[in-house]
Structure formats: structure tokens, C-alpha cells
A = this chain, B = another copy of it.
Amino acid sequence: MAKTDVLTLAILGMLSEQPLHGYQLRKQLGSELGAFRALSYGSLYPALKRMVGSGLIAADANEAEDAHAASSRRSRIAYRLTDAGKARLADELASAGASSWDDDAFDVRFSMFDKTDSATRLRILEGRRSRLAERLEEVSESMQQRRERNDAYTTELQRHGLERVEREVQWLDQLIETERSAPGGNTKAATGGENN
């Protein structure tokens, strides 16, 4: 089972809606997600190259040649999903493994929830929740241990960090409850199931 990193997954998701140029892709990813707020071209273009190389996407170089032959050869490249790309995306969408629980990965995965069935959504939310609970425990432990040694500012920083994570857990709890009481939306039944 080939690995699919976060950026690759995000691109697959974007392109599943419609073919896009690199430039447009960047804008969309930047505004749609919290992650990738300022995704650089130094990441994007190499990523696209890799994906073309592994056959997940294909590059359609400038199609518009209706009239007057090959005059103004603009170099714009529209990328679209191949069948392999669609298959990979479907695979990822049906999985709820640990690779969907980290900060950026979760955001990307969450933004595609309307393409996922309710059971998988729930498993991702719960996985994320338990991941955050782990972090909560680690941080509050190390806070207690060094409570005396730290100055007021460091303590405040830790307290605030802790609070932020707690709030995140509360948010997830809300989402989980909603998902449980109203499994609505997409219900295309976990095909295959259990990845990662």
C-alpha cells in the first residue's frame, strides 16, 4: 500500500472537483484549508512532478487552439486525475488510520468529509480526539514536574497551550455528538474498509 503524504492527498482532493493549474491549486489550498495557508511553489511544483511521475495525475498542456494555429504558445498546464489517482483518492477516503490524526493531515481530511461515509468520519474524529488526549496528558505532566523551576511567563505559555488543546477536544466532542445523532450526508458505505 503506497504511502500518500498530506500534500499529495490535498491535491488529489482539489483535482477531483475539476482540473486546475498549479497557480490556481495554490490559491485554493491556501484559502480553503487552515493548513497550507501559504503553501510555496517550491513545494507545489515538485509535488506535481512527483505525482505525474507516479501516474496519479496527468498534465494537459494548453488545449485552447481553436483558431489561427500555433501563434501565442502560452505555457499553462492543467492537471487532472488519472484513473490511478481516482483509485488512490477513493482508497484514502475510505481509510481512517493514524495518518489522519495529526494537525495538518486532520484538517485536509476533515475538509473532504463530504466525500466520506459517516462511519469513517466518526472514526477519524475519535482518532483525532484520542491523539489530542495523549498530548494533553504529556503536556500537563511535564507542567507539574517543572512547575517550580519555571518563571511566570513560561508557565503562562504552557497554561495557554494546554487550554488551546482542551478547547480543541471540546470542539471534537461536539462534532462527534452531532455525527452520532445525525449520521446524514454521504452514506456510500465503507467499501473495502480498514486501511492504515
Chain B nearest Cβ from A191, distance in angstroms: 20
Complex: A154 Cα to B33 Cα, angstroms: 8
Chain B residues lying within 8 Å of A150, measured Cβ to Cβ, are: 32
Q: How many copies does the complex hold?
A: 2
A33 touches B114 (CB 8 A): no
Complex: A164 Cα to B171 Cα, angstroms: 11
Complex: A151 Cα to B152 Cα, angstroms: 43
Q: How large is the interface on A (under 10, 10 to 19, 20 to 34, 35 or more residues)?
A: 20 to 34
Q: Which residues in chain A, 165-188, are within 8 Å of chain B measured between CB atoms?
A: 167, 171, 175
Measured CB to CB, the residues of A under 8 A from B are 31-34, 107, 110-114, 142, 145-146, 150-154, 156-158, 160-161, 164, 167, 171, 175
B154 touches A111 (CB 8 A): yes
Chain B residues lying within 8 Å of A157, measured Cβ to Cβ, are: 33-34, 107, 110-111
Chain B residues lying within 8 Å of A156, measured Cβ to Cβ, are: 175
Q: Is the interface of A mostly helix, strand, loop or mixed?
A: helix
A113 touches B153 (CB 8 A): yes
Known: A31-B142, A32-B154, A160-B171. 19 other contacts (CB 8 A): A31-B145, A31-B146, A32-B146, A32-B150, A32-B158, A34-B157, A34-B158, A107-B157, A111-B153, A111-B154, A112-B153, A113-B151, A113-B153, A114-B151, A114-B152, A114-B153, A156-B175, A164-B164, A167-B167
A–B pairs, 26, beta carbons within 8 Å: A31-B142, A31-B145, A32-B146, A32-B150, A32-B154, A32-B158, A33-B157, A34-B157, A34-B158, A34-B161, A107-B157, A110-B153, A110-B157, A111-B153, A111-B154, A111-B157, A112-B153, A113-B153, A114-B151, A114-B152, A114-B153, A156-B175, A160-B171, A164-B164, A164-B167, A167-B167
